[in-house]
């Protein structure tokens, strides 16, 4: 799990168990079902197969971040320049390199539902412009994911 000083709110390595098990509904979009290695989380994710092709039994790293800016918020609070760039898609306009440089596939969306299921197990739901994600597992690993907050999903093989 990421530290409190980082913009990454969740990260783990997932192995794909199945792709499109209910049948393919769209030409360029598939739905993957994966399980994480470290935290025993279950992931269901819609993704663009042309931009990021994946196969069953393949592993990938997934991170959820509140911002693409490297590191966390400065101890003294954000400067006016950093505050202005906080919600900008490409905050590296002045030569700064963000988290997106380390990943192959990035989506921006919003956490729209947080289901408390049992006391221990919860599900976080996010939408990335109509591509959906559900992340199911122990609430201990998802304490930094906040309902209504914007989120970046970052993936690499």
pLDDT by residue (tens digit) across 57-76? 999 999 999 998 887 655 55
* Distance from the first to the final alpha carbon of the chain: 19
Task: Enter the pTM of the model.
Answer: 0.82
Percent of the chain with pLDDT over 70: 80
Query: What is the reported pLDDT for 11?
Result: 94
Domains of the chain (ranges; CATH) run 8-70+96-156 (2.40.50.140)
Q: Write out the two tokens for 117.
A: 């299921």
pLDDT by residue (tens digit) across 17-27? 999 998 888 99
Query: Does residue 35 have a pLDDT over 60?
Result: yes
Q: Write out the two tokens for 10.
A: 């969740």
Cα angle, residue 31 at apex, residues 116 and 141 outer, rounded to 5° = 35
CB neighbour burial string for 29-46, b if at least 16 within 10 angstroms, e if fewer:
ebbbbbbbeebebbbbbb
* 3 state SS of 75: coil
Q: Write out the two tokens for 102.
A: 């380390």
Q: pLDDT band for position 30 (50/70/90)?
A: very high
Query: CA-CA distance, 9 to 62, in Å (whole number)?
Result: 11
């Amino acid at each position: 799990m990421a530290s409190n000083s980082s913009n990454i709110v969740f990260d783990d390595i997932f192995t794909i168990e199945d792709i499109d098990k209910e049948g393919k509904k769209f030409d360029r979009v598939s739905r993957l079902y994966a399980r994480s290695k470290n935290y025993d989380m279950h992931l269901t994710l819609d993704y663009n197969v042309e931009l990021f092709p994946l196969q069953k039994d393949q592993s990938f790293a997934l991170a959820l971040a509140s911002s693409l800016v490297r590191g966390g918020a400065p101890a003294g609070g954000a400067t006016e320049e950093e505050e202005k760039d906080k919600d900008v898609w490409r905050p590296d306009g002045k030569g700064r390199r963000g988290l997106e440089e380390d990943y192959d596939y990035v989506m921006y969306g919003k956490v729209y539902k947080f289901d408390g299921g049992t006391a221990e197990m919860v599900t976080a739901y996010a939408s990335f412009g109509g591509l959906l994600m559900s992340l199911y597992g122990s609430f201990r690993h998802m304490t930094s994911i906040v309902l209504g907050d914007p989120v970046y999903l970052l993936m690499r093989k």
